[in-house]
């Protein structure tokens, strides 16, 4: 998890092994969250799958959806991605879950990403989070340290509440 994954070649991307891996990662991700990077399952590859399904949003309050600018992107795969930020507008929200099971922390991330994929809001956050995994970075490296908490405490005290601007990391 702490090493940058090597890029995939075009031949590898199109091969049966990677295509099966993408299928398996999609199924695993759907049981666990909105994104899954190959390093999270022990494979040092620059490959991640992303999908924020409409059904996962139905129980969230409209205010939370608006605050997070959360609209569900369809299933897709990112291979050998690079981040190109388009501005310094940052938003902070809790992240975690798969990388460090049972814990979460506030992470500030840019609200817009641009390259061959234009992303904003929650989708931009998902992309940045998964691309971090491909480059050996965990949310712990970007978190506001005073916000690090267990999932139990997050559910008890912070779930559904807006995040202010943390004063320091």
Active site residues: 130
The Cα 36–Cα 21 span in angstroms is 12
Q: What is the token pair recorded at 119?
A: 């992303």
The Cα 134–Cα 48 span in angstroms is 8
CA 146 vs CA 91, 104, 128: distances in Å: 16, 11, 21
What SS3 class is residue 46?
A: coil
């Amino acid at each position: 998890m702490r090493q940058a994954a090597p890029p995939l070649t075009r031949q590898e991307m199109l091969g049966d092994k990677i295509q099966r891996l993408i299928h398996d990662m999609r199924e695993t991700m759907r049981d666990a969250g909105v994104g899954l990077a190959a390093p999270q399952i022990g494979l040092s590859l620059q490959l991640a799958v992303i999908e924020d399904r409409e059904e996962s949003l139905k129980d969230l309050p409209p205010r939370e959806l608006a605050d997070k600018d959360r609209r569900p992107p369809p299933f897709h795969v990112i291979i050998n991605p690079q981040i190109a930020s388009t501005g310094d507008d940052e938003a902070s929200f809790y992240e975690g879950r798969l990388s460090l099971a049972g814990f979460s922390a506030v992470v500030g991330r840019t609200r817009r990403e641009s390259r061959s994929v234009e992303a904003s809001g929650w989708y931009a956050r998902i992309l940045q989070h998964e691309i971090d995994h491909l480059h050996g970075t965990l949310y712990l490296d970007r978190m506001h340290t005073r916000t690090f908490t267990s999932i139990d405490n997050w559910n008890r005290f912070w779930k559904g509440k807006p995040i202010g601007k943390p004063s320091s990391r």
